[in-house]
Amino acid sequence: GEAKKPVQTSAVRAMERESSKKPVVGIIMGSDSDLPVMSAACDILKQFEVPFEVTIVSAHRTPHRMTKYAIEASQRGIKAIIAGAGGAAHLPGMVAAMTPLPVIGVPVKGSCLDGVDSLHSIVQMPRGVPVATVAINNSTNAALLAIRLIGAFDGSLHKKMQEFLLRQETEVLEKAAKLER
């Protein structure tokens, strides 16, 4: 049957090693081909020092593994799940159907339909099973949203997000000033 140990590429393992504490965010993706898009989420979580795990879970190719992951995530201490998928992107929605945790969906572009297929598959959830959907390929925003969710109950993370926004604003203002000079 389905392997108990997740099948992981070395790139995924390397990212996980850098986040060795008990994970609070779970990042999953339908294929290792999603990794170049999804790695931005890992970078953000590292930057905010939020422990995370990252692995491959496919709704269609490993449906039993998906079920196990969704059912067990909460028990393992995961507080938010980021799920990236492309094409007929059922992963975020199916995971959301099987966990009370917040699920953030990342529509991955990569098909002939430019990612619009992924976007529609992820965003058009039926009433009762929400998936917070970010822009196509924007796993950065998925991680930032996960941090905001957790930060609402974690003062130090909340503060880090405030500082992030301030830094971001300062950077733009500095660029504007440079341009106006």
- Residues forming contacts to ligand RP5 in the complex (CB under 6 A) are 29-31, 33-34, 58, 85-87, 108, 110
Can you tell me the distance from the alpha carbon of 106 to that of 175, in angstroms, rounded to the nearest whole number? 29
The CB-of-25 to ligand RP5 minimum distance in angstroms stands at 18
The CB-of-96 to ligand RP5 minimum distance in angstroms stands at 16
- Residue with smaller CB distance to ligand RP5, 92 or 151: 92
The CB-of-55 to ligand RP5 minimum distance in angstroms stands at 13
Can you tell me the distance from the alpha carbon of 25 to that of 92, in angstroms, rounded to the nearest whole number? 14
The tokens for 117 are 């297929």
The CB-of-62 to ligand RP5 minimum distance in angstroms stands at 10
- Residue with smaller CB distance to ligand RP5, 31 or 55: 31
- Residue with smaller CB distance to ligand RP5, 64 or 181: 64
- Residue with smaller CB distance to ligand RP5, 59 or 147: 59
The tokens for 36 are 């170049």
Edge-first strand listing for the sheet containing 25-29: 52-56, 25-29, 80-86, 103-108, 132-133
The CB-of-141 to ligand RP5 minimum distance in angstroms stands at 18
- Residue with smaller CB distance to ligand RP5, 93 or 151: 93
Those residues whose C-beta lies under 8 Å from the C-beta of residue 54, and which sit 6 or more positions away, are 12, 15, 16, 26, 27, 28, 29, 38, 42
